[in-house]
Amino acid sequence: MNDTTCQIKDIYPLKAQYRSGEMVKIAFELQNDSEYDQRIQICCTIRELATEVDRQELTVELGSMSSQTLQLTVGPFNTPFKGYGVDAELLLDQQSIHCLSSSFDVVSDWRKATRYGFLSDYDASEAGDHEDVKWMAKLHLNMVQFYDWMYRHDELVSDDEEYIDLMGRAVSRTVVEEKIAYCHEYGMKAIAYGAIYAASKAFADQHPDWRLYTSADEPFDFIGIFNIMNTSPDSPWSLHIINEYKQAVEKLDFDGIHMDTYGFPKTGWSSVNGASRLERLEEHFPLLINATRSELSQVKEDVCLIFNNVGNWPVDTVARASQDAIYVEVWKPYERYSHLREIISWSKHLSGGKNVILAAYLKPFREAGALGVEGAQHAFRLLNAVVTAHGAYHLLHGENGGVLTQGYYVDHSTISTAFRRTVRDYCDFGVRYGHITIDRKLRDVSMTHTAGDNLEYEFHSFETSTYGEAGKVWTIIQEHPQRKLIHFVNLTGVKDDYWNEGKELPEPVEGRLVTIAVDQQISSILLASPDVDGGRPKELNYRMDTTVRGRTALVQLPILQFWDLLIIQFE
């Protein structure tokens, strides 16, 4: 029967990320809502860009009004870093009746793709529940920050089964340990939050010479709760907090530490050995990171360190320290889309090419404003496009559809069930094409190769911008020895370029023509979008012309919704 309600309800890899040489397991959730038993076929194609690397078919007997979950094993894939698309097609009587796509990536080292999520609920009622971790695995988040899991900021690990944290929340140690184990099962690193200089008032009062003081000789604190300690290398506090980090890794099997800061103070006064001294924290931080790495590496070989550069400070001093990615918590005055490009570009330059993670919280999901929930959803799509197109990662998602809207992760918001499919599509897209968007050989030529006398790339019949102007299509152009990439982020009809505000629905852009100067033989031109066909690439026709400046390829593009990616590959 062709009239059927059979469908692929969901498809996803069983891990957030796979290691080189590991077999990849993919789950298919099938649904038959008809009153008839159905004999169906599932055709699953694994693709690297447009190249088919594996294809498998399954035949399934699906009873009436029933569901079934199947697993398919593919691989192994022996590659240092590559993303793959999983395109599934459901056939009945040899006719395709439903398609759905997903993705996975394979790496030799998780540091090649650092996708960060969060957990914040460890109440005893969470015991045995792994749905939160499973959701994050579907988003391919291979690193999970365990936010506010600890007893105290100065005494991280409690020996009690249940305890009350400094903010008054109940925490179950058993649940914390369970969540860590679940993360490991799903191929994720479990990272323990640990502020580098925060202490309870009781602890700070016991150690006044460990504290940091203002120029008015008053002790620093944050929101009246967290007392700021001195992180200089010769301060006893530094040894103390590193030992606390070590206990977290040893006793609870965490994989590393999220070394949090608050963005201030940037300077302060100490009284080490009774002598008053001006401390410049930007000088302390790289030393503390390196010392932490040295100590934790004695406990666990593959340890992870993430340091929080609040407001992009002090990236210049810590970029080369022994941390695994450059993590920037974005606040004003970094408020425009172009500011995010600036942060990402400068962080990569300073660090020698480390991955960049932006903690860019989306306030519109908490304060919907005049544009409502849809405005927040549009803001997500555009922000994800901007961050991914510039070769970085975005910390936003966490447990059970949670999204971050401000700095206290416990008070996160939750996206609607209907919008979760869109979020999945965008996360799948980032993984499927991550090995080409994150490639360290890419050079951003957006400002040097188009407009004015720069004719290497020409855009016809639609308004473009090289730096994210509202009301235009942002063209992000990158070159690699084997390919050229052009991201088109649609800000047409969008009234402003503030990334943390609700956004209007972009106006569809039709009739796009692109001219690209080429020196090599083209093997293919592909177009892909998370908004279309589950992110599957489409091969485009093109016309070769000869100009006074050499050979060019002329390509006509389909309608642009939010974001698409043009990939020009060379032989």
- pLDDT values of the chain reduced to their tens digit, one per residue, 571 residues: 344 589 999 999 999 999 999 999 999 999 999 898 999 999 999 999 999 999 999 999 999 999 999 999 999 999 999 999 999 999 988 888 999 999 999 999 999 999 999 999 999 999 999 999 999 999 999 999 999 999 999 999 999 999 999 999 999 999 999 999 999 999 999 999 999 999 999 999 999 999 999 999 999 999 989 999 999 999 999 999 999 999 999 999 999 999 999 999 999 999 887 789 999 999 999 999 999 999 999 999 999 999 999 999 999 999 999 999 999 999 999 999 999 999 999 999 999 999 999 999 999 999 989 999 999 999 999 999 999 999 999 999 999 999 999 999 999 999 999 999 999 999 999 999 999 999 999 999 999 999 999 999 999 999 999 999 999 999 999 999 999 999 999 999 999 999 999 999 999 999 999 999 999 999 999 999 999 999 999 999 999 999 998 999 999 999 999 999 999 999 9
**Cα separation of 389 and 473, whole Å?**
13
**Cα separation of 83 and 385, whole Å?**
17
Alpha carbon separation from 257 to 292, 488, 550 (Å, rounded): 9, 36, 53
- Amino acid (one-letter) located at 151: Y
Tell me how far the alpha carbon of residue 225 is from its chain's centroid: 30
- Amino acid (one-letter) located at 474: W
Please, which residues bridge with residue 527 across strands? 538, 566
Q: Are 49 and 526 in contact (CB under 8 A)?
A: yes
Q: Is it true that domain 110-197+230-437 has CATH number 3.20.20.80?
A: yes
Radius of gyration of the chain (CA): 25
Q: Are 409 and 398 in contact (CB under 8 A)?
A: yes
**Cα separation of 57 and 42, whole Å?**
6
Query: Residues spanned by CATH 2.60.40.10 within the chain?
Result: 6-107
Q: Are 468 and 552 in contact (CB under 8 A)?
A: no
Structure tokens belonging to residue 487 = 């991201």
Query: Residues spanned by CATH 3.20.20.80 within the chain?
Result: 110-197+230-437
**Cα separation of 270 and 394, whole Å?**
36
Instruction: Name the superfamily (CATH) of residues 6-107.
Output: Immunoglobulins (2.60.40.10)
Query: Residues spanned by CATH 2.60.40.1180 within the chain?
Result: 443-570
CATH assignment of 443-570, given 2.40.10.10, 2.60.40.1180, 3.40.640.10, 3.30.200.20? 2.60.40.1180
Instruction: Give the β-pairing of 81-92 and 6-13.
Output: unpaired
Own/partner pairs for 211-214, CB < 8 Å, 24+ apart? Answer: 211/270, 212/265, 212/268, 212/269, 212/270, 212/279, 213/268, 213/269, 213/270, 213/271, 214/265, 214/268, 214/269
The structure tokens 């169906």 sit at 40
- Amino acid (one-letter) located at 9: K
Question: Crossing angle, helix 337-351 and helix 372-389, to 10 degrees?
Answer: 30
